[in-house]
Structure 1
Amino acid sequence: MRLLDGLEVISRERRLKFARAILYLAQGVFDDCYTETEVVHWARYNVFLLYEMGTFGALVELLNMEIDNSQACSSSLRKPAISLADSTELRVLLNIMYLMVEIIRREGEDDKPEWSSARDGFRTELSSLVYNGEPFAVLLFSFVNKYCNGHTPHCPIKKVLLLLWKTILFCFGGFETVQELKMEKRAKLGLPPLLENSIQVTRTLRATSPPASAMDILEQQQKRGRRGRRDSLDIYCERDEAREEEDEADDGDSGIEGEVDPLEREALIQDLHSPGLAPERWLFPRCLPWATKVREKDIEEFLEVSRCKFIGFTLGNDTETLVGLPRPIHNSVKTLKQHKYVSIAEVQAKMEEELQKSPVSLGAEEVEQTSVEILYQAMLYNLPQYMIALLKIQLAAAPTSKAKTDSINILADLLPEEMPNTVLQSMKLGIDVNRHKEIVVKAISALMLLLLKHLKLNHVYQFEYVSQHLVFANCIPLILKFFNQSIMSYVTTKNSIFVLDYPHCVIHELPELTTEVLEAGDHTQFCWRNLFSCINLLRILNKLTKWKHSRIMMLVVFKSAPILKRVLRAKQAMLQLYALKLLKFQTKYLGRQWRKSNMKIMSAIYHKVRHRLNDDWAYGNDIDARPWDFQAEECSLRVNIEMFNSRRYGLHHTDLEFAPVDNCLQSVLGHQVSLPEDFRYSYELWLEREVFAHPIHWEDLLQPLT
């Protein structure tokens, strides 16, 4: 309580001293501990104690005051180069808040019973409208927007993005929570349960991937006398790289034929030591991993083509009448209906269409005030600026971006006041800079993917609104620019110094930092941080382009096929799965010669990606792929989004068509109407021209409205 009182003193130096004392408590009082486990234990205990004392609310007030500190902003703007010293107060506050969110979010085995209720209360506090009438996440979004606009150049943007990501993750839940909410919502809407759990299927894809290259697996199978199909996604790393495009000629394969890839070695060792694992684990499955799906629109299109062929006319959206069609067509329709999948998005879009048609008869829509709905309402008016700000920072942190004078300086909270003057200091600063950028990319990619998934589950047009603004802000070429590098080098980089990681650095005696220690890095063969970022960016690209022909054509125009082929060299099942999905979207537009030259990729798409029964992705016979239809498709989607936001939130304008009308004659005639001063001199002329000169058809009032 004395430390909290110290946060309210006038002197900035004293406030900083008390804030650092609270940070020391949140970090686990490491100077009084002897083991790393003890530090973690006291960090959890102290963080829950700080939350019970109301520390987080006091920190939010201080954060608002520091971020709007005109003196600090003006001094930062006047400086030629902003350094680490300009963001000391902000970094201390953000560190405490990040530790509180991250520690309270995670459940531990030694948690006390009252901590569970504290966790639920903290989640509600972050999600509700408590901080200046808006959720805490919107407050952080506004900080990011101010930073990109140049108003707060001293803001430690990496820590803000990390806190924003963890706040969204804490309030909404992770990917497994999305899966659970999806199952509950399908049951609520009366839809059949999901055919499979996508997370479990993706893990199965990884588990069934052999540890070595496809050539070694075939040799082993031949020695054992087994017959099997070449099942591995590693088929792209064989000796036929000479047939790739010219722009890939200088980027050779990163692995050695026949060796175990470093991305699979550690996972293989963990799997082999896991209990209860049968030897049949390495046997290839005899069926496709995904269940096939068919949309209602696919059945309608199939029947439309069949009726035009055999009958000569169509019946619109009727999928039940099969009169006049031959028996094989009946069997085909039966098979299609057995695999029909109705998504939550389709139901939501249909309900929105009915509400737009009959707003009076259906009445007001009951909107459940979930944490996702509250956040969308709060950030709706400034959402385009927030998305642009995230993409600006993502562009500045991309490893392929070149430094420009007008670009955002994301290293303001990293560079020291005095630049290094030795080789050792330069190496350490270089590692810190690369690690800093990697963490920024990780936070933004995870944040955008979580937002897209939760918004799509809450309402499809909320998801489409965010997606369109991401596309308009050039998110698709930005992600392709990110992948236009050596992915194997990126996911195996070692931009970390193990001996400086917390809490290892405060418990153990630090060795002397030399160039050998910095070059050695840690003992891992790959960087999960960068692999996680790559998978997230591919999933975002899938979310933006799925079922959108205009955006798929953007992938073709920006020549994403050779870029995605290079991604396939990283032998990780989930990464390759989403890269293959993106290639599947655009194969029909790439031409016959490309498909002929990349038959191994076509086979891998067939083996690993979900299929639609009547999808001709491998043949390119898409009759709807006409360029002049793409603009109309995007414009129609935008109209639907604007109508949704206008109806539910009144974003663009108030709808006067359904406003209440005053039908009382005395009330209408009793209104005071302001008239110009010269009206009394010309009102007789006005009556003659506007009233008496126009005939009144009284019989029209007796006719029914049409």
Structure 2
Amino acid sequence: MRVEHADDTSHQQEMKATFATELGMPMFNNEPVAIILFNMITKFCNGSASHFPVKKVLLLLWKTILVSMGSLKELHQTKNEMRRAAGLPEWPEDNVEVCRNIRASTPPAAGMEFMDGRRSRQARQDAFDPFSDADEEEEVANSEDQSPGTPRPGSPVAEPVETPVIKVNKALPWRSKVREKDLEQFLAQTRQKFVGLKVHNDLNSLAGLPNPIHEGVKVLKEHIYVSLSEVQIKQEEEVTKNPLSQSDIAETAAEALYRSMLPNLPQYMISLLKLLLAAAPACKPKTDSINILADVLPEEMPTTVLDSMKLAIDVNRHKEIIVKAISGLFLLLLKWFKLNHIYQFEFMSQHLVFANCIPLVIKFFNQTILAYVQTKNSISVLDFPECVLSEEEELSAETLETGDSQTCCWRNMFSCINLLRILNKLTKWKHSRTMMLIIFKSAPILKRALKVKHAMMQVYVLKLIKLQTKYLGRQWRKSNMKTMSAIYCKVRHRLTDDWAFGNDMDARPWDFQAEEYALRSCVDRFNNRRYVNDGYDPDFKPVDNNLQSILGEEVQLTMEFKMNYEKWLEREVHGTQIDWDLLLRH
């Protein structure tokens, strides 16, 4: 359904589009398929339906949302359409495409490796090996299958293929960005320094400022990027100031899904995180943890070595697919909700943070991540369609130990990249959540993840390290200059961001709690106005002033009032003298 073929007729294209639309519409009990699957996951996690095949439910949920809302490639196209509609210029960069042209760097050497000298370089391999320790690589094979940016529902593991050589870019891979807030702060500081005045809401007056400042302002204006999120926040502020003015709500697939998820979204996030915790290899199972292996473990445990190995491989594969589905689902929802409206994204993000998503992801990476992405928990001769189309091969313990010839498990690589992207989305521009990364000591954990020589994974690891550098201290920066250089070469630059120092005046620890409370207040106001009160602020909801309709309105009396009605009648009516003439005059 998601793959476009050159020979598709217009009728086939129309049927695919119709199917994707109907998939997001209410069906059973006035609920879309995605909400039914979300409720199945919640029931599975609270123990009321432990017999559900949770892996299949998760995969079906993820692919249902992929079909109904679209992949990340379609999201990028929709984003440019929405930017044009909002009067903003298109943004041509696609993160996945840019990362494919970035060269993976050699991971920083550990202390013992540095003292012992360089290790001998491995022989060059014909296929791209993301785990090669060679310090100098002139050729990097980047293919669609090797860069797991967007998953393919039909093939959870993509095999590396031979591709043409791509020359390494000498320029920085990203276009620099500047926020209007950054330009305002720059002008405020320079005006205070050279003129001694404050000018509000003025980004053009440069009177009294030296020529280098003029040139700096010109460069900043050339790189200003106004995001859709900023436009949406300003629109919400206008609606708050003028409650009677309502903005139009476009009925998109993401809007319909969010409206359906809203009443139980916190429970959905908690349930998915519970499953992720149960499937994470670095987490030890507890007695009260969820049993995600109910549909994998046989009634009788295996008695032979071969059967035991097959079961162990199947259990690990089962967990890996669950992690893949949950990470892909989280990333897809976060990106589509952020595009649809920033406060939908913030609502989901806050509930993920409240449910300890940040420490869970850090704990997930607190393992030998290089070994995790190199595991081969699959038996090729038993995989479909190999087991059907090929001749049956005899399995033995030796063939299972040998495994296949893949350089890595692209399923696990995909999961790791997704989790890093989720962590980036939760912490970006949030000082309180950045401090959580520092409190849970994520810097050394993330630095170990750089041992995986995969460009996209390294980019998102370096982004997370960049957020923390100004808080880690001068000695850490001096001891990790290779990591700092990698950040400079691979991560997008904010022209006024002093990430490599520590002069950020916004990062005040006493503002952290207030930051989350202020965000929660904006999100609650958005949800109450847009979904709870049918688009109206309750204080400004229209009032019925028609006498006939008011007298004809049925009022439900409480049981307490009915039991004490006679006492109220005696006290308030019969026992009270009323001057009716005086009442009528007033």
Query: Which TM-score bucket, shorter chain as reference?
Result: 0.7 to 0.9
3-state DSSP class of the match of 1:407? coil
Per-residue deviation, 1:320: 2.6
Deviation of 1:193 after TM superposition, in Å, equals 1.7
Structure 1 position 508, deviation (Å):
2.6
**Separation of aligned partners in 1, 2:233 and 2:524:** 13
Determine which of 398, 405, 408 is the counterpart of 1:526: 408
Deviations 1:361-409 (A, max 9, x none): x2x3221111111111011100000000000000000001111111000
Distance 1:255 1:151 in 2: 55
Which ranges in structure 2 are unaligned for 5 or more consecutive residues? 133-138, 144-159, 556-560
Q: Which amino acid aligns with 2:452?
A: A
Pair 1:234-2:106 in alignment: yes
1:404 aligns with 2:294: no
User: Quick one: which amino acid aligns to residue 526 of structure 1?
Assistant: C
Q: CA deviation at 1:496?
A: 0.4
Match of 1:200 among 97, 108, 111: 97
**C-alpha separation between the residues in 1 aligned to 2:120 and 2:572?**
93
Q: Which residue of 2 aligns with 1:326?
A: 210
Tell me: CA distance 1:145–1:654, structure 2 relative to 1, closer, same or farther (3 Å): farther
Q: Counterpart of 2:235 in structure 1: which amino acid?
A: M
Give ranges in structure 1 of 5+ residues lacking alignment: 1-103, 210-231, 244-251, 692-697, 699-706
Q: Out of 309, 317, 321, which is 2:201 matched to?
A: 317
Find the aligned partners of 1:502 and 1:578 in 2 and give their Cα distance.
33
Please give the alpha-carbon distance, in whole angstroms, between the structure 2 residues aligned to 1:658 and 1:345: 26
C-alpha displacement of 1:301: 1.1
* Segment drifting more, 571-580 vs 234-243: 234-243
How far 1:439 moved relative to its partner? 0.3
Q: Which secondary structure does the structure 2 equivalent of 1:359 belong to?
A: coil
The counterpart of 1:178, out of the listed 75, 78, 88, is 75
Alignment length, in residue pairs?
A: 547
Asked if the contact 1:438–1:529 (Cα under 8 Å) also holds between the matched residues in 2, the reply is yes
Match of 2:558? none
User: Are the structure 2 counterparts of residues 484 and 189 from structure 1 closer, same or farther at C-alpha, using a change threshold of 3 Å?
Assistant: same
Cα displacement string for residues 185-233 of structure 1 (whole angstroms, at most 9, x for unaligned residues)? 111111012153323211111xxx2xxxxxxxxxxxxxxxxxxxxxx62
Following TM superposition, by how much is the alpha carbon of 1:317 offset from its aligned partner in structure 2, in angstroms? 3.4
Instruction: Tell me if 1:143 matches 2:20.
Output: no
Aligned residue in 1 for 2:520 = 638
Kindly state the Cα deviation for residue 639 of structure 1 after the two structures are TM-superposed: 0.5
Which amino acid is 1:377 matched to? R
State whether structure 2 residue 228 is matched by structure 1 residue 344. Answer: yes
* Aligned counterpart for 2:573 among listed residues 649, 662, 680: 680
* 1:6-85 correspondence runs (5 A): none
Shift of 1:625: 1.3
Matches of 1:255 and 1:424, distance apart in 2: 37
8 A Cα contact 2:243 2:536, kept in partner: no
Of 555, 567, 570, the match for 2:452? 570
Alpha-carbon spacing, 1:498–1:592, altered in 2? closer, same or farther (3 Å)? same
CA distance in 2 between partners of 1:412 and 1:442 (Å) = 19
Q: Does 1:263 align with 2:130?
A: yes
Whole-Å Cα distance in 2 between the matches of residues 424 and 513 of structure 1? 8
- Normalization by structure 2: what TM-score? 0.87
1:112 shift after superposition = 6.3
Opposite residue 108 of structure 2, the aligned amino acid is Y
Residue 538 of structure 1: aligned partner: 420
Matched, 1:154 2:36: no
Say if 1:494 and 1:666 are closer, same or farther in 2 by CA, change over 3 A. Answer: closer
Letter in 1 for 2:129: P
1:478 correspondence with 2:360: yes
CA–CA distance in structure 2, aligned partners of residues 602 and 441 of structure 1: 30
Give TM-score, length-normalised by structure 1. Answer: 0.73
Q: Residue deviations 1:515-570, cap 9 Å, x none?
A: 01111111212100000000000000011100000000000000000000010000
Give the Cα separation in 1 of the matches to 2:377 and 2:275: 20
Shift of the 643–259 alpha-carbon distance from structure 1 to 2, 3 Å rule, reads: farther
Decide whether the 8 Å contact of 2:466 with 2:487 is kept in 1: yes
Equivalent AA in structure 1 for residue 425 of structure 2: K
Q: 1:121 aligns with which of 11, 15, 18?
A: 18
Q: Cα gap change, 1:254/1:476 in structure 2, threshold over 3 Å: closer, same or farther?
A: farther
Larger helix fraction of residues: 1
Match status 1:659 vs 2:541:
yes
Quote the offset at 1:338 in angstroms. 1.1
Please list the CA deviations of residues 309-357 of structure 1 after superposition, one character each: whole Å capped at 9, or x if unmatched. Answer: 2333423333233333333323222221111000011101111111111
Aligned with residue 559 of structure 1, among 416, 441, 449? 441
Letter in 2 for 1:453: K
**1:597 counterpart = 2:479:** yes
2:337 maps to 455
Q: Deviations over 1:264-306 (max 9, x none)?
A: 67x957879968x57xx44x43321111110011011112222
Q: In 2, Cα distance between the equivalents of 1:326 and 1:466?
A: 46
Residues 279, 323 of structure 2: 8 Å contact kept:
yes
Task: Name the SS for the 1:450 alignment partner.
Answer: helix
SS in structure 1 of the partner of residue 263 of structure 2: coil
Q: Which moved more, 1:668-677 or 1:344-353?
A: 668-677
Distance 2:204 2:575 in 1: 68
Give the conservation status (yes or no) of the 8 Å contact 1:238–1:257: no
| Alignment correspondent of 2:505 | 623
Match of 2:349 in 1: 467
Deviation string 1:643-681 (CA, Å, 9 cap, x unpaired) is: 100111017997431122355689889999998221125
Shift of 1:133: 1.1
User: What is the deviation of 1:682?
Assistant: 5.1
One-letter amino acid matched to 1:149: N
Retained in 1: the 8 A contact 2:376–2:408?
Answer: yes
In 1, Cα distance between equivalents of 2:207 and 2:221: 17
Q: Secondary structure at the match of 2:130?
A: helix
- Over 3 Å counting, the alpha-carbon distance change for 1:631 and 1:297 in structure 2 is same
| Partner AA of 2:409 in structure 1 | C
Deviation for aligned residue 1:683: 3.6
Give yes or no for contact 2:381–2:387 (8 Å, CA) kept in 1: yes
Native 8 Å contact 2:277 2:283 kept in 1: yes
* Residue matched to 2:187: 303
| 8 Å contact kept, 1:254–1:488 | no
Partner of 2:373: 491
Code of the residue aligned with 2:540 in structure 1: it is F
SS at match of 1:409: coil
- Provide the residue aligned with 1:502 in structure 2: 384
CA–CA distance in structure 2, aligned partners of residues 672 and 488 of structure 1: 68
Question: 1:161 is aligned with what amino acid?
Answer: L
Contact 1:577 1:609 in 2 (8 A): yes
- Change in CA separation of 1:510 and 1:269 when aligned onto 2, cut-off 3 Å: farther
Q: 1:424 and 1:539, CA in 2 relative to 1: closer, same or farther beyond 3 A? A: same
**Is the contact made by 2:131 and 2:451 (CA closer than 8 Å) also made in structure 1?**
no
* Greater shift in the superposed pair: 177-186 or 321-330: 321-330
Letter in 2 for 1:204: N
Tell whether the 8 Å contact from 1:293 to 1:339 is kept in structure 2 after alignment. Answer: yes
The answer to whether the 8 Å contact 1:494/1:521 transfers is: yes
What's the counterpart of residue 90 of structure 1?
A: none
2:136 match: none
In structure 2, do the counterparts of structure 1 residues 318 and 416 end up closer, same or farther at CA, with 3 Å as the change threshold?
A: same
Can you list the C-alpha shifts for 1:151-194, whole angstroms capped at 9, x where unaligned? 10000000000001111111111111111111111111110121
Tell me the amino acid that sits aligned with residue 504 of structure 1.
E
Matched, 1:441 2:323: yes
CA spacing shift, 1:507–1:655, aligned 2, 3 Å: same
